[in-house]
Chains A and B, each alone.
Chain A
Amino acid sequence: MKRVLLVILPLILFGSCYKEAKKKIDRIHGVKWSGTYAISAINADLNLDDAVEIFSGPANTGAYFDKTIYFAYEATEISKTGSQLYPLNDQNGTTSAALTNPEKATLTGAGSVTTNRSFVFPFVMTGIPELDSVYFSKGNFSLAFQNNYDHPCTVTLKIVQARRKNSGSPDLIYNLNVGSRATGNINDSLSNIILDATKGGTGFNELRMDLSITYTNSGAGIGISDNFNINYNLNSLQFSRIYGYFGNLSVLNANDSLSLDIFDQGLKYGTFRFDDPKLKLIYTHNMGMPFQLKTNSLSGYKPAGTTPVVGYPATTAISEIPFGSEGNFITDSVVISHPSSNIQTVIKNEPTHILYNFNVIPNPGGPVKRNFVLANSTFKVKVMMELPLNGLATKVLLIDTTDFDLNAGKASEVIDWVNFRMNIHNEIPITLGFQAYFMDANSLILDSLFEPFRYIANSATIDGSGNVIAPYDEIYDVYLEKDKIQNIQNAKKLMFKAFMNTAESGGTQVPVRITQNQHLKVKMGIHTKVAVNEKF
């Protein structure tokens, strides 16, 4: 019996343990868990290329050789190609080649006669006073002979000094038979035809044709009004290159404005002072003729008034691309800067726009040089305002409001607190601040990010000349308690303020220079406690 009990008792004991365990599990109606986690989240190494983007709006940023950063506002580039500047006109002409009386006599007497004629037609192009030669890339050539004699003929047409590319023949030659009182036609493509319009280097704008007609007596008579008419047509012409003298009609006229967002959209409070602004007219071309950039007027505009720019060059000579260098470009610019102009004063007035009016004229010296352009030769010009970060920014403040929805859902409920540990190393002589206000749908402020407000990064230390002599280093915590997290979760709008102020020396702002070598290094670590206390 004892042995039986020895076996059964443990079974009963463990059976009851199992039941007890199951019973306890059934009593579990909640889970509790808390954990604290930390991770280094962001390690940013920035310079003002990035940090000031919100102030500069759509401007590009760049840097000079000495690494000074600038904002660059650009107007839309104006560009023209050779084919846009010099479109080829259609060419048409009519003439006749009637037999002279001796030729008529020969035809009647000898049974045949040959008559030779030369014609010179004008090749006229709008805007090009003197056309030397054309390399056609496209075009159609058609010519009709109308034989009004009762005698058939054989015609040989030579277009003088017009040749096919890579052809040994110096002229284009066509032969055809034309019946009595009949019409004969010649149709050809001008693609890859090179036309020399100079009459062997002595003229221009000439389209020359030589005609040789041999009549055979048909036995019929010759009427007094019988004739031989010639009609030609060159249409849909496009060139790959043209040579000549292209005159001095303006090829490009610009009368527009350049928007400076920093004074228009971006800046609401505070002031910028740019000590060395530069207004640039930048041109690029690869055409075989000299130009003149003629600046008619420049001014700074804002609704309160316009400030004319003075002290800029009225004209600027632009040299041509030499023959054989068509693939190269000439790029240069007209720079209007301080102190040769009053541009510093103009910018100091914080214009929202720069108004400009200029045009480009070819051959300013007259027909002293022969010109050429390719169909795809271009002339481009753009207006750019460069604002080097060399000066002052005083209490610059940007304010904006945007819709906001954290949409963190359940996640925000389990976060007990979050601490952002900021590790700041600032080599830039600018103090940067940021504040975010979380608002409900009625724009009522629920909470703010920094309480009390503090700068994200104080400026680096500068000397009396504005040179950085020591970076600013600080480690601080931004602690968000559960209530604040909840307020952020409930927010529907976000208003943020961004603040910027250049450094002071001895309590006074002195002009500073912002360079690419100056860095703002921000390391942000996140430390958070997650706590779950869920009942079910």
Chain B
Amino acid sequence: MKNSKLFTVLFFASGLLHAQQTFTLYPMNSIPQSSYLNPATRPDCKWYFGMPGLNSVYMQYANSGFNFNQFLKATEPGNGDSLILNVNKVLDLMDKKNYIALKFENTWLTGGFKFGNHFFNLNVTDKAHMRVSIPKDLFRFLIDGNGGDNLGETFEFHFKAGAVYYREYGIGYNYTLGDKLTLGGKLKYLQGFATINTNHADLDVTTNKEDYSLLLKTNLELNTASSWGRIINNPNEDFEPQNFSKSGNRGMGLDLGASYKWNDKIELSASVIDLGFINWKENTVNIVSRNPNAGFNFDGIHVKSNDTQSFDQYLSQLKDSILATFPLDTTTTTFRTTLSSEFFIYGSYMLSKKLTAGALFYGDFYNRRFYPGLTLNVKWKAGKALTLNLSNSFYSRSFFNIGLGGSLNLGAWQVYSIMDNVLAPFIPAGVKSISWRFGTNFTFGRERMKPKPENKMPVMETPVPTTN
């Protein structure tokens, strides 16, 4: 019973995720939404439009730490067949910075068409992204402690949290030069609804080797804004999420991409998406440390002769001293947040008319760290109606993340579903992330697959001699 509880707790506590896009979507040009990852991607239809409100629903949870199977590395042999959980070893499984990410996106409107070598598309998408970074030092401080070999060392509790909700109005265009090269871009007008963003939420703790006093340094820079009222320091105002269209928080975004057909079998592509920013002007609140480099040294509970104050009074005084050392300034100035940019480099090799294998290198930057990923995929285009894509992704020290995507066209009507870590619901112990995109489109003028030439017997021009 105890073990079952432990299993459950560890299961959900283990692993911190990655904020990758749906890797499996990238090579699937049967789905028009693949152009979200590379604006140079041309769908295999002449024109399309998405079911309003249900053409692209995207959800993602990811963490960058360790998954449950990795957690088992923190055990060591006990008596007989038993295992002992070594809590200290859990730290070895963590990165210096670990984050948890959540994403939810919904595209209200989308559509596009080809015109000769030109391809135009547009989308109106709501995006809500949240990412929290938790420093390994926090767990190190709690588990290993600040004593022993860690005396004199500075523990950096540098948290980072970002949450943003905005609407994207995108107009994409690509153009094919000759038969090989396609260049594309998407310009995005962004309308920010709400954000909470910490540039700094830092606490540094250093333990003096000699007297064990604790030197505390903090640095806080927090920006919030919303179209519906102030998110914090808002004792009297109503916070009403409405008037979406009236948001005055505006920004711009840009996606760029290219694809190159090396020969009939090899195709290369690359893209960078979500370059851009949002200027936040409405109901902004900025909380900033006035003395970001100031330090407070806690050198024990002070006891003085003839001191008449109670311990509660002392604690209150200590709190006041700390607050006086780390004063905060609150302002309401405008600020800018950048989008979380990502890039993709993809190469594919056509194994047969229906089967293509590919490799996708992916990366994004978050909290001054580069998070790369690699996906290998096999795409099977069964015909005009069905396309399947099977992938496996490697990222954040996680090596088995099976993705599966499929699109089914019944005439013009297309439904699709793409899931990275398709096995996550079944084997959550082995995954760090899960994402799912699904939707339905109406596509027209899809390319026919060229009929395979028949393998006929050669015509014998010379009659076969006969014998008598």
Footprint of B on A, CB under 8 Å? 3, 6-7, 10-11, 13-15, 17-18, 21-22, 24-47, 49-50, 421, 423, 475, 516, 519, 523-530, 532, 535-536
Contacts and interface: CB of A to CB of B under 8 A. Distances in A.
B6 A28 contact: yes
B85 A39 contact: no
B287 to A, nearest CB: 29
6 contacts: A21-B69, A32-B76, A35-B88, A36-B144, A45-B302, A519-B305
Contact of A39 (B210, B214, B392, B426): B214
Given A28-B3, A28-B83, A536-B2, A17 B430 contact: yes
Contacts of B76: 32
A524 B427 CA distance: 52
Contacts of B78: 29-30, 535
B147 A527 contact: yes
Contact of A24 (B72, B87, B149, B404): B72
A40 B299 contact: yes
A18 B400 CA distance: 13
Main secondary structure of the interface of B (DSSP, over half): mixed
Contacts of A33: 86-88, 143
A81 B150 CA distance: 70
B300 A42 contact: yes
A339 B423 CA distance: 99
Contacts of A13: 400
A32 B87 contact: yes
B284 interface: no
- Which A-B residue pairs are the 10 nearest by beta carbons? A525-B212, A36-B147, A36-B148, A43-B300, A35-B145, A33-B87, A38-B147, A40-B300, A38-B212, A44-B303
Interface in B133-173: 142-151
B332 interface: no
A389 to B, nearest CB: 14
Contacts of B88: 32-35
Given A14-B427, A15-B427, A35 B303 contact: no
Interface residues of B, number: 57
Nearest to B89: A32
Contacts of A7: 390, 404
B23 to A, nearest CB: 16
Given A14-B430, A22-B7, A35-B88, 6 more contacts: A24-B72, A25-B7, A29-B82, A38-B147, A43-B300, A43-B302
B238 interface: no
Contact of B305 (A43, A50, A527): A50
Contacts of B303: 42-46
A46 B427 contact: no
Nearest to B77: A27
B167 to A, nearest CB: 38
A15 B402 CA distance: 13
Contacts of B151: 38
Contact of B81 (A27, A36, A49, A475): A27
Contact of A41 (B301, B305, B380): B301
A18 B430 contact: yes
A496 B3 CA distance: 48
B211 A529 contact: no
Interface of B: 2-3, 6-7, 10, 68-69, 72, 75-76, 78, 81-88, 142-151, 207-208, 210-214, 298-306, 378, 380, 390, 392, 400, 402, 404, 423, 426-427, 429-430
Contacts of B211: 40, 421, 423, 523, 525
B84 A31 contact: yes
B426 A21 contact: no
Contacts of B144: 35-36
B460 to A, nearest CB: 37
Given A14-B423, A30-B85, A35-B144, A525 B150 contact: no
A308 B270 CA distance: 109
B212 A32 contact: no
Given A30-B82, A527-B147, A40 B214 contact: yes
A28 B82 contact: yes
Contacts of A6: 378, 390
Contacts of A421: 210-212
A3 to B, nearest CB: 7
A344 B433 CA distance: 87
B140 to A, nearest CB: 10
Contact of B84 (A17, A22, A32, A519): A32
Nearest to A24: B72
B212 A39 contact: yes
B393 to A, nearest CB: 12
Nearest to A28: B83
B430 A26 contact: no
A369 B223 CA distance: 84
Given A36-B145, A47-B305, A523-B299, A14 B6 contact: no
A524 B300 contact: yes
A369 B390 CA distance: 120
A261 to B, nearest CB: 21
A39 B212 CA distance: 5
Nearest to A35: B145
Contacts of B81: 27
B423 A27 contact: no
B381 to A, nearest CB: 13
Nearest to B301: A42
A536 B68 CA distance: 21
A501 B81 CA distance: 63
A32 B85 contact: yes
B430 A40 contact: no
Nearest to A39: B212
A523 B85 CA distance: 38
A280 to B, nearest CB: 22
Given A17-B427, A18-B430, A38-B147, A27 B302 contact: no
A45 B300 CA distance: 12
A519 B144 CA distance: 37
Contacts of B150: 36
A433 B87 CA distance: 42
B420 to A, nearest CB: 13
